[in-house]
Every structure is written in structure tokens, then in C-alpha cells.
Amino acid sequence: MSTRVEIPADTSAAAKGTAPLIAVSGHGKGGYKRGLAIFDVVLRLGAVAATLAAAAIMGTSDQTLPFFTQFFQFQASYDDLPTFQFFVIAMAIVSGYLVLSLPFSIVAIIRPRAAGPRLLLIILDTVALTLNMAAAGAATAIVYLAHNGNSGANWLAICNQFGDFCQKSSGAVVASFIAAVVLLVLIVISALALRKH
């Protein structure tokens, strides 16, 4: 494990460009891949934060209006919309997967040239991205409908009444899209690390 190669610690530019040029030996490749692996762990922590935020914001987005009729009280919660329930569950699952995947990502730092953990990570990351985008797309459709309504189907916009609820669910959707972008970058990193070069 003795090596003189500098490990590019946290900048992707250094990991991508400089390291393989400095040393083209086996040690150099290890350093390049180790840099990718460290970047992977950092991004993974960011994705955990984004998915947790998405689930938490959506999960707490209930609003009760301060007036009610004889028949019912006006209240909006993520529980009322099955799509938002699915969103919270999916984000929680993705978040849990990302936490559980951290050890494998750390193994990739210690053994930068092992293909097994990388292969596992890229496949499971793709599945997580799929789940994430399904939830994000579905929630976006409903949030759009809540904001704009639809005259053809006679669905009225509810954001005039439930402003806070709409704002929170929009925020959750944005967080889920950030998580999707991070997952996309994670998959690209895994693909670069898998390449034999």
C-alpha cells in the first residue's frame, strides 16, 4: 500500500484530468479511481440529505384552513393524495438505500480497483434513480395540477386555498429532482470507475 501518488481528495476536476496524466502506472490508475470513489461518498451523502429533505418536507405538508362548513373542514395533507403518499414512501426507500450503500462506496475507496462493489452500486443506483424519478414525475404532475388545474377535465386549482401546502409540496419535488441529478452523477462516476481504461 506504499505509494507516492497524490490522491485527489475532493475535486472532480483533479480526479478526472490531472491524476492519470501525472502517473500512468498502476498506482496512478488506483489514485484516479480512489478520487472517484471519494467523490462518490461525498455525493452519496448529498443525495441522502436531498431525499430525506424531500420525504420530510412532503410528510409535514399539511394545512388546515381556518374556516369550515357544516359538512367538512377544509384541510389538505399529503395523506389525501395517493401520489404524495407514494412520493414519501419512495423517497424514504431511496434514502434508506443510499445510507445502506455507503459502506460499499467506502469499500471502493479502500479497494479502488475492485469491480464487484462498483457493479453492485451502479445497478442498485439505477434502480434507485428509477424509483426516484417515478415519484418525482408523479408528484410534479399533481403539483402542476394543484397550481394550474385543468379545464378540460374540470379539475380546479387548489393552490389558491392551500397556498402553504402547495409551496411545501413544490419544495419537496424540487428536492427530489436534486436527488435525481446527484444519482445520475453517481451512476456516471461508477461507469467511469468500471471502465478498464
Q: Which of residues 77-96 bind a second copy (CB under 8 A)?
A: 77, 80-83
In angstroms, give the least distance from the CB of 85 to a second copy: 11
Q: How many residues bind a second copy (CB under 8 A)?
A: 49
Cα-based angle 179, 63, 151 (whole degrees, multiple of 5) = 80
Dmax (CA) for the chain in angstroms is 78
In sequence order, the 6+-apart residues with CB closer than 8 A to the CB of 71 are none
Task: Please select the residue that binds a second copy; options are 7, 43, 98, 145, rule is CB under 8 A.
Answer: 145
Residue among 110 and 119 whose Cβ is closer to a second copy: 119
Cell triple for residue 116?
464487484
- Regarding 197 and contact with a second copy (CB under 8 A), the answer is yes
HEC per residue, 150-193: ECCCCECCCCCCCHHHHHHHHHHHHHHHHHHHHHHHHHHHHHHH
**Closest among 102, 130, 105, 127 to 116, alpha carbons compared:** 105
Q: Which stretch binds a second copy (CB under 8 A): 2-10, 30-38, 47-55, 135-143?
A: 135-143
- Regarding 158 and contact with a second copy (CB under 8 A), the answer is yes
Q: Which of residues 112-131 bind a second copy (CB under 8 A)?
A: 115, 118-119, 122-123, 126-127, 129-130
- Regarding 138 and contact with a second copy (CB under 8 A), the answer is yes
Residue 135 phi, psi dihedral angles, 5° rounding: -65, -45
Return residues touching a second copy (CB under 8 A): 75-77, 80-83, 115, 118-119, 122-123, 126-127, 129-130, 133-142, 144-146, 148, 150-156, 158, 180, 184, 187-188, 190-192, 194-197
